Amino acid sequence: MRADPFESWLAAGPAPARWGMRALVALATRPRGAALLRRLGPVGQLSGSVVALRRYDRPEVARRLGFDAAAVVARGRALRRAEGRP
Amino acid sequence: MRLSADVCVVGAGAGGAVVAAELAEGGADVVLLDRGPRHNPDDLTARPPEMLARLYRDGGQTVTLGSPPVGLPLGSGLGGTTLVNSGTCFRTPPAVLARWAREHGLELDGGVLDPCFERVERALSVGPVTPELAGRNAEVARRGAAALGWSHGYIARNARGCVGSGVCAYGCPASAKQHVGITYVPRAEAAGARVLTGAAVERIAVAGGRARGVEGLRTGRRRVALAIDAPLVVVAAGTVETPLLLARSGLGAASGQLGRNLSLHPATAAFARMDEVVDMARGVPQSLYVDEFAADGIMLEGIAGPPAHAALALPLTGAAHAEAMADYRRLAQFGLMVSDSSRGSVRSVAGRPLVRYDLCDADLARFRTGLARLRELFETAGARAVHLPLPAGVEPRRARRRDLKLMAFHPLGTARADASAERGVVDGDLAVHGVDGVHVADGSVVPSSLGVNPQITIMALATRLALGLLAT
Ligand SMILES: Cc1cc2nc3c(=O)[nH]c(=O)nc-3n(C[C@H](O)[C@H](O)[C@H](O)COP(=O)(O)OP(=O)(O)OC[C@H]3O[C@@H](n4cnc5c(N)ncnc54)[C@H](O)[C@@H]3O)c2cc1C
């Protein structure tokens, strides 16, 4: 099965940042945790942005906003083949 | 695994791929090594988190230590950072070359580099973006700049058959961006160069004051020791890794400049809510520049991407963030890059690079001015609201370092070139001072910030090095 893209991104981070980021994401996805983070200024903003990265990467959410990653990739592949690019 | 060659090139990015191809085509027996993988274009998905994880070192999560912290994404694999860059192509400004002549004794001004620029631009099919391909995000900024009478223009890019997929930074699914992984690397291979991926170089072997080759590890199903015997080594591991590799090898430290003089072109971006549909991910994300304030060290350049990209960068929280994202189709984004006077450093801590960088007062002032200009640009273009990357209620002129949200895409200078062995790590021919047979060909040799995107400078310097080596 293909790994969750967001999980792969979290896992790709350097070790200390990875642990911190996981903790922030876990907090930000719980109502009381999110409320606490909102009071923490830049850290709160960072965790919110990271959670938003996951949400707006979901194909159904992105498509609703006019971006279809699968269609972009399919068009790119077809062009590559048609024009003989690697 | 042990191989021998005339030349071993370490790093297959902007500098390394160019040197490898030029040398191989000139008849040299070349081995080109890169720590990262060979990326298959069929695996590109246009989805930011997945592509950050695959195409960037540490998932693009490298951050500098200092005030403020700066995100510093770096590419990894054949193509290096050119695989994920925006494709923007600027020649080194003549004023910068003249300054290098005065301050570093480098004889690169007066048209010396022109044949190399031309050669690189031909190889990469560099040409200007058309207004149609530039997309509506660029049109918003163009309209503002034109109304304000600010100097601006469409950017020249290394692209062929581009259809404006809008995801340059996440790997071009159409292979339209002519990054070095699909241009120079195949040329090197066609000319007989051996290209090894998953090959992390640990040190350069030197004996009797001369290069003997490199040693490292090859990762894959098994980790095996790797040794390349070569009388000539070209280091092109990038501005962050090259000084560490030289330091591990006991090279380049005599001047005290190794790992220092790091410039970054720190950058940030603002969003605008427009009445019109913008669809920022349709078109070339970086297609327009506004250079009205370039002499003050402030360059405005396009930036855009899919909803996930915008959501990560949008400087809002909670309900305000959700509301702005619901209006994503009417969001425009534009960036601001500072030609920095701040200087940072790179050193190794527990085997990993630690990048230290603090923004100086002059650069903070540039950000304050630049953010005010970005707001003016968007307001003049008809924005309903402008979201600057500052905490709520903070005006640009009052912004403090810690208020800024910065990224940087152009690290340079940590093995800077200078004719004098007391002031530089490499000389004007990019040879490491104090040793024979070791050269550097990447962003680390560039002795100051450029004020423009650096890939063409790096590739032109790499071309000059290769042609020089072939002539000797
Ligand atoms: C998102 C983004 C957008 C950008 N957009 C533009 C743009 O539009 N125009 C522009 O001019 N510039 C742009 N840049 C910057 C430009 O791409 C870089 O300045 C340029 O690629 C740097 O070239 P380099 O040769 O120094 O290093 P890189 O291209 O980074 O190559 C270094 C290579 O060395 C390898 N390596 C590192 N250590 C080792 C080791 N020990 N052993 C073996 N291999 C090693 C790495 O895996 C990497 O492949 C952008 C950068 C980013 C991140």
Q: HEC states along chain B? A: CEEECCEEEECCCHHHHHHHHHHHHCCCCEEEECCCCCCCHHHCCCCHHHHHHHHEHHHHCCECECCCCEECCCECCCCHHHHCCCCECCCCCHHHHHHHHHHHCCCCCCCCCHHHHHHHHHHCCEEECCHHHHHHHHHHHHHHHHHHCCCEEECEEEECCCCCCCCHHHCCCCCCECCCCCCHHHHHHHCCCEEECCEEEEEEEEECCEEEEEEEEECCCCCEEEEEECCEEEECCCCCCHHHHHHHCCCCCCCCCCCCCEECCEEEEEEEECCCCCCCCCCCCCCEEECCCHHHCEEEEECCCCHHHHHHHCCCCHHHHHHHHHCHHHEEEEEEEECCCCCEEEEEECCEEEEECCCCHHHHHHHHHHHHHHHHHHHHCCCCEEECCCCCCCCHHHCCHHHCCEEECCCECCCCECCCCCCCCECCCCEECCCECEEECCHHHCCCCCCCCCHHHHHHHHHHHHHHHHHC
Query: SS3 for A1?
Result: coil
Task: Taking each helix axis as running N to C, give the angle between helix B318-326 and helix A42-57, from 0 to 180 degrees, rounded to the nearest 10.
Answer: 30
Please answer whether residues B70 and B64 qualify as being in contact, where contact means their C-beta atoms are separated by less than 8 angstroms.
yes
Interval between CA B238 and ligand 1 midpoint (Å): 6
Distance CA B71, CA B61 (A): 7
- B224-229 and B2-4: which strand pairing? parallel
Query: SS3 for A41?
Result: coil
Within 10 A of B192 (CB to CB), how many other CB atoms are there?
12
Q: How many domains does chain A divide into?
A: 1
Nearest to A57 among B186, B279, B308 (CB): B308
A52/B186 touch (CB, cutoff 8 Å), yes or no: no
Phi, psi of B286 (to 5 degrees): -115, 90
Please report the pLDDT score of residue A29 as a whole number: 82
Q: Which of B259, B204, B226, B240 is nearest to B415 (CA)?
A: B259
Please report the pLDDT score of residue B47 as a whole number: 97
Q: What is the pLDDT of residues B27-43, one digit of tens each?
A: 999 999 999 999 999 99
List chain A residues with CB under 8 Å of B315: 45
Distance CA B218, CA B145 (A): 51
Domain that holds residue A49: 5-82
Please report the pLDDT score of residue A33 as a whole number: 83
Residues with CB under 6 Å of ligand 1 are B 10-16, 33-36, 73-77, 80-82, 84-88, 169, 199-201, 236-239, 241, 245, 286, 409-410, 442-443, 453-455, 458
- With CA atoms as reference, the chain B residue closest to A55 would be B308
Question: What domains sit in chain B, N to C, each tagged with a CATH number?
Answer: 2-53+75-125+171-259+414-471 (3.50.50.60), 128-159+267-339+360-403 (3.30.410)
Q: What is the pLDDT of residues A18-75, one digit of tens each?
A: 888 888 888 888 888 888 887 777 777 888 888 999 999 999 999 999 999 999 999 9
Q: What is the pTM of this model?
A: 0.97
Interval between CA B462 and ligand 1 midpoint (Å): 13
- Which residue type, as a one-letter code, is found at position B450? L
B61/A57 touch (CB, cutoff 8 Å), yes or no: no
* Catalytic annotation, residues of B: 410
**pLDDT-flagged residues of chain B (< 70):** none
Please report the pLDDT score of residue B209 as a whole number: 96
Confidence band, pLDDT 50/70/90 cuts, at residue A2: low
ipTM exceeding the 0.90 mark: yes
Please report the pLDDT score of residue B33 as a whole number: 98
